[in-house]
Amino acid sequence: MLPNKTTQVELTDKDDLSSQAMEAFNTLRTNIQFSGDHVKAIIVTSCTPNEGKSFTSFRLARSFAEAGKSVLFIDGDMRKSAFSGRYHVSAPTCGLSHLLSGQKSEEETIYPTNINRLDVVFSGPSAPNPSALLSGDAFSRLIALARAHYDYIIIDSPPLGPFIDSALMAPSCDGAVLVIESGVTHYRLAQGVKEQFEKSGCRFLGVVLNKADAKHDPRYGYGSYYSQYGKYGSY
Ligand SMILES: Nc1ncnc2c1ncn2[C@@H]1O[C@H](COP(=O)(O)OP(=O)(O)OP(=O)(O)O)[C@@H](O)[C@H]1O
Ligand SMILES: [Mg+2]
């Protein structure tokens, strides 16, 4: 892990996941591990807003950390990140928008957390032009540095339907995971997003079907890749 210049932040997570949901994240983590040891930097996106990218990406990052891997979680949503509020981060932090605009260094924007082996890059103040910030080479420099210090880098991002940001981050990544809200996203839209990732040279790892009703739909029973997150706490 990177020797940090920053002070540790406390993340207070009020999610109360069911054992089935925990199991689903462990399965997702294992599937990614079996994609090969060259798959280290993983971007999580969706077609439309609100499908569960932030929840899924952070839980995935935690799952890797809990399994003994060193992890950097990057909140790559510089448009409307809810991360700091959701995990009750009280101290002011620098973030990705500071780094990409040249105001801060990597060492000043990577924060250790109270979760063992999990460091975080916050999104920073919302930027008027995130895609312009991502067009420079600062993001790829961050990922290159992180590769040398962490086992896994998990990146949350804005939805690819309305915004280009995740496609701009994708070439620096080894794989992409698409979160799909059950019963909401049309498969043609999902297919278009998958093709857009493949064109960017980033391997498409698969889909997480989120908010599926595991209790009432037998297709999502035990052993499936997906799950309903039973007792999902409010933020
Ligand atoms: N499996 C789930 N079960 C119940 N609620 C969920 C689940 N996943 C996410 N949510 C809820 O759905 C909402 C959207 O989740 P989240 O913020 O993770 O989505 P997002 O795709 O990151 O949204 P945005 O596009 O705005 O960044 C949140 O209120 C979250 O609490
Ligand atoms: Mg989000």
- Give per-residue pLDDT as tens, 198-225: 888 899 999 999 988 766 555 554 333 4
134 falls within a domain? no
45 falls within a domain? yes
Which residue range forms the structural domain that includes residue 121? 1-128+150-173+200-229
What's the structural domain count of the chain? 1
Instruction: Tell me which residue has its CA closest to atom 16 in ligand 1.
Output: 52
139 falls within a domain? no
Kindly state the tokens that stand for 200.
Answer: 């960017």
Residues with CB under 6 A from ligand 1: 46, 49-55, 77, 82, 159, 210-211, 229, 232
38 falls within a domain? yes
87 falls within a domain? yes
What is the bridge-based pairing of β-strands 203-210 and 175-181?
parallel
Query: Distance, CA 166 to ligand 2 centroid (Å)?
Result: 12
123 falls within a domain? yes
Mean pLDDT, the chain, whole residue set? 87
188 falls within a domain? no
117 falls within a domain? yes
Q: What is the pTM of this model?
A: 0.91
Query: Distance, CA 44 to ligand 2 centroid (Å)?
Result: 10
pLDDT in tens, 77-95: 999 888 888 888 877 789 9
Q: Answer whether 119's CB lies under 8 Å from 111's CB.
A: yes
| Of residues 73, 49, 176, 50, the one with CA closest to residue 122 | 73
- Per-residue pLDDT tens, the chain, 235 aa: give them: 777 677 899 998 776 788 888 889 999 999 999 999 899 999 999 999 999 999 999 999 999 999 999 999 999 999 988 888 888 887 778 999 999 999 999 999 999 999 999 999 999 998 889 999 999 999 999 999 999 999 999 999 999 988 999 999 999 999 999 999 988 888 899 999 999 888 888 999 999 999 887 665 555 543 334 433 333 322 2
The CATH number linked to 9 is 3.40.50.300
